[in-house]
Structure 1
Amino acid sequence: MSATTVTPAITSFSADDLARHLPELGALLRACVHDGASVGFVMPYGVDDSEDFWRAKVLPSLSAGGLMLFVAREGDAIAGTVQLDYDTMPNQRHRAEVRKLLVHPAFRRRGIARALMTELERHAQRLERSLLTLDTRTGDHAEPLYASLGYRSAGTIPGYARAPHDTERFDATTIMYKAL
């Protein structure tokens, strides 16, 4: 596939949508982890692990109404996702967290991550969230993307998470934020 910028179709998935598309979402997550994405998982990482994540970690928050799941499609294929977690404490109702920006390796370098983040930010503003936070593996490909979208680094935490393919190595994470 070429590295062409496209305008993917982005929709907000409901809990029912997630349940209907569980195998596709599981395949997306698994492909990203196998490609080295540091999104919380280490190898070996199978299909059941991927679907369990969506079922146990995302579906309950989505059902409860404290999380939005945005899905980018190219044709019938799910090309990427990102989550907006706005289930915050009363003194934090002005902020939300960006979680698990995923773009399938076959669909990268097409503007999908940027389009997902733009849609997420639009909905965060609609929810009257004026501050977004996220963390990303220090030096990862996503870090410059976030910076280009206006996210600023608050700092790094060394040894934050195990590397997906080398469980003896601990990678640093960069905490980033953006005022909307």
Structure 2
Amino acid sequence: MSSASPVSDIVVTSLDGEQALAAVDALADVLIDCVEGGASVSFMLPLTRERATAFWRKVADGVARGERVLLVARRAADTTGGGGICGISGIVGTVQLILDLPENQPHRADVAKMLVHRSVRRQGVAQRLMAALDDAARAHARHVLVLDTVTGGDAERLYQRSGWQRAGDVPKFALMPDGEYCATTFYYKHL
């Protein structure tokens, strides 16, 4: 995909449990697109809509319980109007901050499911999500963040530009959606 100018009409917001539940179908669209595009994000091909929506319902439950923060990137035109979340189909990206960790890690959070729809990649969406993630972590008094990503993948450049430090690689840690092994690189960031 060619580089394009940054998407100027994208806004990043945090969803509460009810809003997350209302966004399940739109989030499933992004997840399915990413997996079909080859992203190793815990799912194998073919990823059915049933499996994708079931995953996002579990995430929405976790958001409602305060176990995680769910951030979404969507077009600004889709964030206004009556009746709560409008234009939920305008979601083009998402990331999660997992807060539910052991009691000896109250200062830490895990980052999960950084997903950007292929139609808007390389346009600054992921960078905006990561900046909002840092803000959410600070708001929850979390100053050590940890994530993992496919070794050598495009996301590594994003994380390094965003101040993340490489901790190490694990060969054959996971599978790509097509069943091939992939190594995983772990990163951390101190805020």
- TMscore range, shorter length: over 0.9
Q: For residues 149 and 45 of structure 1, what CA distance do their matches in structure 2 show? A: 30
User: Is 62-71 or 5-14 further displaced after alignment?
Assistant: 5-14
Q: Does 1:4 align with 2:5?
A: yes
Specify the alignment match of 1:144 in structure 2: 157
Structure 2 stretches lacking a partner, 5+ long: 79-89
Pair 1:30 & 2:48 matched: no
Partner of residue 71, structure 2: 70
CA-to-partner distance for each residue in 1:147-178, whole Å, 9 max, x for gaps?
1111111100111111112x1x2111000000
Unaligned runs of 5+ in 1: none
Deviation at 1:122, TM superposition (A): 0.8
Q: Report the aligned-residue RMSD.
A: 1.4
Query: Residue in 1 aligned with 2:15?
Result: 13
Q: Which residue of 2 aligns with 1:175?
A: 186
- Cα offset, 1:2, TM superposition: 7.2
Separation in structure 2 between the aligned mates of residue 24 and residue 59 of structure 1, nearest angstrom: 13
Q: Which amino acid aligns with 1:38?
A: S
Identity of aligned residues (%): 41
2:174 maps to what in 1? Answer: 161
What CA distance in whole angstroms lies between the structure 2 residues aligned with 1:34 and 1:86? 29
TM-score (norm 1): 0.94
Deviation at 1:6, TM superposition (A): 2.6
Aligned pair count? Answer: 177
Match of 1:91, SS state, is coil
DSSP-derived class of the 2:52 partner: helix
- Tell me if 1:103 matches 2:116: yes
- C-alpha distance in 2, partners of 1:107/1:49? 24
**Deviation (angstroms), 1:60:** 2.3
How far apart, in 2, do the equivalents of 1:50 and 1:89 lie?
27
In 1: Cα distance, 2:4 partner to 2:91 partner: 17
Which residue in 1 is equivalent to 2:86? none
